[in-house]
Amino acid sequence: MNGGRTPERPRLEPLAPQQWPPEMREALAALEPPDPRHPRPVREGRPKARNALGTLARYPALTRAYHTFNGHVLFASTLSVRQRELLVLRVAVLRHCEYEHAQHAVLAADAGISPEEVARVADGPQAAGWSPLERAMLAAVDELIADAAVADGTWAALAEELDEHQLMDLVFTVGAYEVLAMAFRSFGVQLDDDLR
């Protein structure tokens, strides 16, 4: 990943789990939507996101609010897990967010996205090998990041295959991870050892 750099030191030092305030339990529980469509990832032997969660533990009320939103994006979205992860990876590439990219490369593998496809996300929608829908989805990310709107031609291509809930989930997924990329980079969230 190139472009702007995340600060080399945390601007907000992450709290160790034993330092988390009691309200952080509610903030973590907010990730569980009432009607999930997608399963939670396997936890055993996986990256634990301690630096991200430890940073967010500094402000449990804000974390709970964001997790309610992000819980929908992760577990109740009408998009497939593959589609979601392609969107998130493209946001991470465009926003030069190494932490977000590393975490979602793991989730992408769970969704059957090959390492070659993860690398190809950096080449964007014009790279060979994407389906027409995936190409339009990646183009939508580029347009949303650049102009805060999906262009008419891209919208028409998306609407040929996605229903209105899926179209809405696409825009909100990009927005959710745009915000998270801003937070991670601004706060100086460093890669955890288990993400390197």
pLDDT tens digits along 65-105: 999 999 999 999 999 999 999 999 999 999 999 999 999 99
Q: Which residue has the higher pLDDT, 10 or 6?
A: 10
How many independent structural domains does the chain possess? 1
Record the pTM: 0.95
Tell which residue, 134, 116, 119, has the closest CA to residue 170: 134
CA angle at 32 for the pair 26 and 35, rounded to the nearest 5°:
140
Residue 38 maps to a domain = no
Residue 156 maps to a domain = yes
Residue 168 maps to a domain = yes
Give the count of alpha carbons within 13 A of 190, CB side only: 11
Tell which residue, 64, 54, 65, 51, has the closest CA to residue 23: 64
Residue 76 maps to a domain = yes
Residue 57 maps to a domain = yes
Residue 136 has pLDDT above 70, yes or no: yes
Q: CATH number for the domain including 70? A: 1.20.1290.10
Percent of the chain surpassing pLDDT 90: 90
Confidence of residue 2 (pLDDT cuts 50, 70, 90): very low
Residue 11 maps to a domain = no
Residue 15 maps to a domain = no
pLDDT tens digits along 163-190: 999 999 999 999 999 999 999 999 999 9
The Cα 72–Cα 102 span in angstroms is: 21
pLDDT tens digits along 99-111: 999 999 999 999 9
Confidence of residue 4 (pLDDT cuts 50, 70, 90): low
Chain centroid offset of residue 196 CA? 18
What DSSP character marks residue 19?
G
The whole domain housing 66 covers 49-195
Residue 10 maps to a domain = no
